[in-house]
């Protein structure tokens, strides 16, 4: 037999109770007992994070992926024994429960080990139910683009493709100024080509940001249960 008495509020937070026989929880016991003493059943938030990262390198092309999720669950008090626990308090009970459809939450949670007592509490008139919001967040970051080797090959290819005729549109390539202008033009053309490839045909962006495709979602889920490159 398991018995717990208190003259004031009695808090059971994420408590796991195993007993033989019966389990009784009572408040407002004794000469100094409070007439509004309550039994409070609270959950403990638990956060679970899952991540998956991958990286692929194909000599001239690379891809990186970082995916994952974070979910909060509410670990509620559980009572395991041959008989259901008994709760007695003049001020009633205050019970936390994951936010969502009340009936569905009770049906789901009461099937878990040590949680069948929730069915009895749902039928009582002296229970103050307190919904608890649980966070759920997912992310999917992807980045792809040319490798250093691929960048170098594109730069060489663009310079070769421009040739004396293409680069020579600016000044005389035999003069120092002309050669500098042609080199600058070839460099700009190479950067534009590299950015174009990294963006898969999109507009020319800052090369340091090319290929980044963040996709992050945040939610508040109803119910219990929560880097890189591909």
Condensed to tens digits (0 to 9), the pLDDT of residues 89-113 reads 999 999 999 999 999 999 999 999 9
| Residues written for the chain | 230
Q: What is the mean pLDDT of residues 57-74?
A: 85
**Of 170 and 163, the one with more pLDDT:** 163
Say what percent of the chain tops pLDDT 90: 42
Q: What is the pLDDT of residue 75?
A: 94
What's the mean per-residue pLDDT of the chain?
75
Q: What is the pLDDT of residue 63?
A: 81
- Domain residue extents for the chain: 2-45+73-133
pLDDT at 181 over 60: no
Q: What is the pLDDT of residue 173?
A: 46
Q: What is the mean pLDDT of residues 174-192?
A: 52
Phi-psi region of 165 (alpha: psi -120 to 50; beta: other; left: phi over 0): alpha
Among 119-128, 137-146, 182-191, 217-226, name the one with the lowest average pLDDT: 217-226
**Phi, psi dihedrals of residue 229, rounded to the nearest 5°:** -160, 130
Contacts of 46 by beta carbon, 8 Å cutoff, 6+ apart:
72, 73, 74, 75
DSSP assignment of the chain equals: -EEEEESS-EEEES-EEE-SS-EEEEES-STT--TT--EEEE-EEEEEEEEEEEEEE-SSEEEEEEEEEEEEEEE--EEESSS--EEE-TT-EEEEEESS-HHHHHHHHTTSTT-THHHHHHT-SSEEEEEE-EEEEEEEEEEEEE-HHHHHHHHHHHHHHHHHHHHTTSS-TTSHHHHHHHHHHHHHHHHHHHHHHHTTT-----GGGTTEE--EEEEEESS-------
Rounded Cα gap, residues 78 and 92, in angstroms: 19
pLDDT at 169 over 60: no
Q: What is the mean pLDDT of residues 28-42?
A: 81
Q: What is the mean pLDDT of residues 119-147?
A: 90
Reported as a pLDDT band with limits 50, 70 and 90, residue 62 is confident
Q: What is the pLDDT of residue 54?
A: 83
Q: Give the angle 198-201-205 at the CA atoms, nearest 5°.
A: 55
**Of 78 and 151, the one with more pLDDT:** 78
Is the pTM here over 0.75, yes or no? no
Reported as a pLDDT band with limits 50, 70 and 90, residue 225 is very low
Q: Are 24 and 11 in contact (CB under 8 A)?
A: no
């Amino acid at each position: 037999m398991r018995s717990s008495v208190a003259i004031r509020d009695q808090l059971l937070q994420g408590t796991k109770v195993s007993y033989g026989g019966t389990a009784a929880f009572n408040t407002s016991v004794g000469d100094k007992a409070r007439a509004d003493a309550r039994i409070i059943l609270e959950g403990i938030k638990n956060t679970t994070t899952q991540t998956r990262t991958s990286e692929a390198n194909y000599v001239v092309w690379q891809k990186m992926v970082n995916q994952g999720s974070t979910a909060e669950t509410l670990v509620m008090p559980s009572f395991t024994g041959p008989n259901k626990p008994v709760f007695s308090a003049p001020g009633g009970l205050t019970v936390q429960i994951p936010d969502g459809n009340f009936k569905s939450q009770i049906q789901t949670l009461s099937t878990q080990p040590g949680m069948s007592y929730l069915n009895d509490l749902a039928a009582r008139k002296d229970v103050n139910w307190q919904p608890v919001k649980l966070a759920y967040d997912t992310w999917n970051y992807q980045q792809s683009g040319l490798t250093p080797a691929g960048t170098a090959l594109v730069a060489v290819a663009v310079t070769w493709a421009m040739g004396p005729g293409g680069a020579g549109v600016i000044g005389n390539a035999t003069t120092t100024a002309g050669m500098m202008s042609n080199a600058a033009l070839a460099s700009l053309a190479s950067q534009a080509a590299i950015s174009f490839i990294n963006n898969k045909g999109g507009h020319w962006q800052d090369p340091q940001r090319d290929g980044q495709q963040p996709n992050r979602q945040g939610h508040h889920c109803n119910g219990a249960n929560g880097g890189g490159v591909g």
